[in-house]
Structure 1
Amino acid sequence: MENKKILEFLELVGRLKHVKRTGWVICDIDECESIAGHMYRMGMMTFLLTEGNDPSKLDRFRCLQIALVHDLAECIVGDITPHCGISPEEKHRQEDEAMQKIAELTGFAGDRMYELYKEYENQSSPEAKFAKDLDRYDMILQAFEYEKRENAPKRLQEFFSATEGKFQHPFIKGLVQELYSQREEFEKNTFTNGMV
């Protein structure tokens, strides 16, 4: 592995610290999260898996790795959403090409990242499915945080509607229930206090 290529890789990854997530930009959210911020919290959530809340005994390290690479291609292609007018097939093609370029920069490590990315894309393992749950959960948690920050109940309902009924892992399902409960309470309190 050449140091020159590693530096190029690290600079590409560094872009994710500054690229805002498209969904929030489209919704006019001020000071919205970056792609790296989203992946970081997904990664942190993998530490919360325990023997007690994970009956399927997932490989936590693999879950963490998938969380950290699942949006890596966005450092080259950007955050493409359904609102961008690009077909799912074209999005997949662009991201796959970007991941291959990233993998070439880092040799064996890149092969590993590409393999984990494909696993996530194909949802071909329990760990990849769990990472998908984390991806969706982080999105609705972030949406709720923005609703609270702006004191605007239900403003970002579309993100909740898009994920409804799609969560699979029991631990995440429990977190979703808690989030829904807090969101309902927030809405009730806001209307009760006559602020909306």
Structure 2
Amino acid sequence: MSQTSPDVEQLLRLISRDQRLESLPRTGWQICGVDRPESIAAHIHGVTLIALWLADHQPPPGANVERVLRIALVHDLGEAMLTDLPRPVKELIGKDVVDQAEDRAADHILEALPSWRSAFQEYRQGQTLEARIVKVADRIQMLARALEYRHQKRGETSRFFDTSTSFDARGVHLAAEIFQALRRHFDDKTWFDPHFD
């Protein structure tokens, strides 16, 4: 039997770390009383889908779609080690401590993937169009999920609509309009039928 190359072992280690995200819940929803909330992996999938849509709708010169997808896929990968820390916990611990822990987790998980680590850092800094798209997609996914849970009567999720930071369009094309539509659904107590009607 031949030896496995270091690159293959690296991939398998990454897969094992990523798979943890499927079983780790988004704890902010648990605090709101949502039983069996989405996993971190489901959240990342939703953010990636929304970020791709936003990237495809940017006016010329547009966004680097490959970079958007790379950032979206790694933006919460550190939570495989840290879990999803809800906002009240982050506020109690302090931003600097949370940032340091997230950096150390990203360093550990992405140690052999410098371009992926760079994408994580780009997201954290939030300066490029691609990073801003993913940050906006993260908020859109969260607000849409809050509406879904409210529609399903699965918890009290209105607190996610109580902060103006949830609605920061960050200069991303169509984001302000999307946030207005989400707010309208919240105010009207409407959401989409689960049967595709």
TM-score bracket, shorter-length normalisation:
0.7 to 0.9
- Deviation of 1:78 after TM superposition, in Å, equals 1.1
- 1:59 is the counterpart of 2:64: yes
In the other structure, the counterpart of 2:161 is 160
Q: Of 101, 110, 117, which aligns to 1:103?
A: 110
In the other structure, the counterpart of 2:3 is none
Amino acid of the residue matched to residue 157 of structure 1?
S
**What is the correspondence of 1:62-73 to structure 2 with a 5 Å cutoff?**
62-73=67-78
Contact persistence 2:48–2:73 (CA under 8 A): yes
- Deviation of 1:177 after TM superposition, in Å, equals 1.7
Contact persistence 1:49–1:60 (CA under 8 A): no
Provide the rounded CA distance (Å) in 1 between the counterparts of 2:144 and 2:97. Answer: 29
Provide the rounded CA distance (Å) in 1 between the counterparts of 2:149 and 2:108. Answer: 35
- Greater relative contact order (Cα < 8 A, sep 6+): 2
In the other structure, the counterpart of 1:94 is 101
Segments of 5+ residues of structure 1 without an aligned counterpart are: 188-196
In the other structure, the counterpart of 2:137 is 134
Amino acid of the residue matched to residue 62 of structure 1?
R
Amino acid of the residue matched to residue 112 of structure 1?
S
Query: Which secondary structure state, in structure 2, belongs to the residue aligned with residue 184 of structure 1?
Result: helix
**What is the correspondence of 1:114-125 to structure 2 with a 5 Å cutoff?**
114-125=117-128
RMSD of aligned C-alpha atoms? 2.0
Q: Of 13, 23, 31, which aligns to 2:36?
A: 31
Query: Which secondary structure state, in structure 2, belongs to the residue aligned with residue 44 of structure 1?
Result: helix
Could you tell which deviates more after superposition, 85-94 or 32-41? 85-94
Amino acid of the residue matched to residue 144 of structure 1?
L
Could you tell which deviates more after superposition, 132-141 or 171-180? 171-180
Query: Which secondary structure state, in structure 1, belongs to the residue aligned with residue 34 of structure 2?
Result: coil
- Deviation of 1:165 after TM superposition, in Å, equals 4.2
Provide the rounded CA distance (Å) in 2 between the counterparts of 1:54 and 1:91. Answer: 32
Segments of 5+ residues of structure 2 without an aligned counterpart are: 1-5, 191-197
- 1:11 is the counterpart of 2:16: yes
Q: How many percent of aligned residue pairs carry the same amino acid?
A: 28
- 1:147 is the counterpart of 2:154: no
TM-score by length of 1: 0.83
Which digits, 9 at most, give the CA deviation of each residue in 1:99-133, with x for residues without a partner? 111122xx3xx111100000010112111111110
Which digits, 9 at most, give the CA deviation of each residue in 1:45-67, with x for residues without a partner? 2332476x412511122111111
Q: How many residues align?
A: 180
Provide the rounded CA distance (Å) in 1 between the counterparts of 2:131 and 2:13. Answer: 27
TM-score by length of 2: 0.83
Amino acid of the residue matched to residue 35 of structure 2?
D
